[in-house]
Amino acid sequence: MPQSGVKTEGGWFSRLKAGLSRSSSKLADGIGGIFTKRRLDAAALEELEELLITADLGVGCAASLTAELARDRFDKDISPEQVRRALADQIADILEPVARPLALDPAHSPHVVLVVGVNGTGKTTTIGKLAKQWRDEGHEVMLAACDTFRAAAIEQLEVWGERSGCAVVAAKPGADAAGLAYDALTRAREAGADVLLIDTAGRLHNKAELMAELEKISRVLKKLDENAPHDCLLVLDATVGQNAHAQVETFQRLIAVSCLAVTKLDGTARGGVLVALAQKFTLPVIAVGVGETIDDLRPFEAKPFAAALMGLED
């Protein structure tokens, strides 16, 4: 497999491979068990498809991957390594179209990113890490603590503001989130910020209330900038597996989701869910997270991810 992504991100690839070890071990062990000294016959394909489904690649994705493998290799001898490499190539092809970073548009002053997701996905931490990375690149970044439902979220964002050197616009718990978003955009404009990251509540147990709040935030932002928010980033926790599909569908009904970030890939054997999400929704995946540190959230690259998922060295 070409190494372009691996060469440029050598240290990151090691972390990515380690972070995906639970997923890759499950897949590699399963493939090894199926294909040791065995032809790619109908029974083997059925076992492989079942393995891919249990790794949360989803029924449709598993079926298409095995069908493509059978097209060239059916009834031929094939090694586990050959299967993993063939699958990695196919998976990279699925992921390549969605591996697009969130590009800040200098025409927006600032570029407003509304960040959504259920509680516990790592939403606030993802905001902090993105802010730090953009700050290190020389961008002026401001944060808005519009998850006023949870005091802990406000405090956590303020900690990230201190770490990253970014101003945080916050209010007391229970404050009007939309009003705070309006104030934050006003202040970001006055400060000449390049980007405004807005944290939001994620209480899906009351979808009507959440919908109303997100709609109100979007509405008041448009009073200052008719195109705001310029992006809506949905943060997903990989450990929930196929439930991530339902989260994407729910938030797409609430607001126009424009991109995804997938966190906690190191805590699950369900890393294949990212492939299923890419195939089903075709939304850009701007970043993946495989740990707690600032360096464990990076821009998403298709080929290194596919290789790491299959436990390959390159």
What is the three-class DSSP state of 172?
coil
| 111-301: CATH class | alpha beta
Among residues 165, 178, 173, the alpha carbon closest in space to that of 137 is found at 165
Give the domain ranges of the chain: 4-98, 111-301
Predicted local confidence at residue 209, as pLDDT: 86
Edge-to-edge strand list for the sheet holding 285-289: 167-169, 141-146, 195-200, 111-116, 231-237, 259-263, 285-289, 297-299
As a whole number of angstroms, the distance between CA 309 and CA 314 comes to 11
Decide: 113 and 197 in contact? Cβ < 8 Å.
yes
Among residues 292, 130, 102, 123, the alpha carbon closest in space to that of 204 is found at 123
pLDDT score of 9 more than 50 = no
Let me know if 2 is exposed, middle or buried by CB neighbors in 10 A (0-12, 13-18, 19+).
Answer: exposed
**pLDDT grade for 38, boundaries at 50, 70 and 90:** confident
**CATH node for 4-98:** 1.20.120.140
94 Cα distance to chain centroid: 15
Whole-number average pLDDT of the chain: 92
What is the three-class DSSP state of 154?
helix
The per-residue pLDDT for range 228-279, each reduced to its tens digit, is 999 999 999 999 998 999 999 999 988 999 999 999 999 888 899 999 999 9
How large is the angle between the packed helices 302-309 and 21-35, nearest 10 degrees? 60
pLDDT score of 4 more than 70 = no
- pTM value? 0.93
The per-residue pLDDT for range 69-114, each reduced to its tens digit, is 999 889 999 999 999 999 999 999 999 999 999 999 999 999 999 9
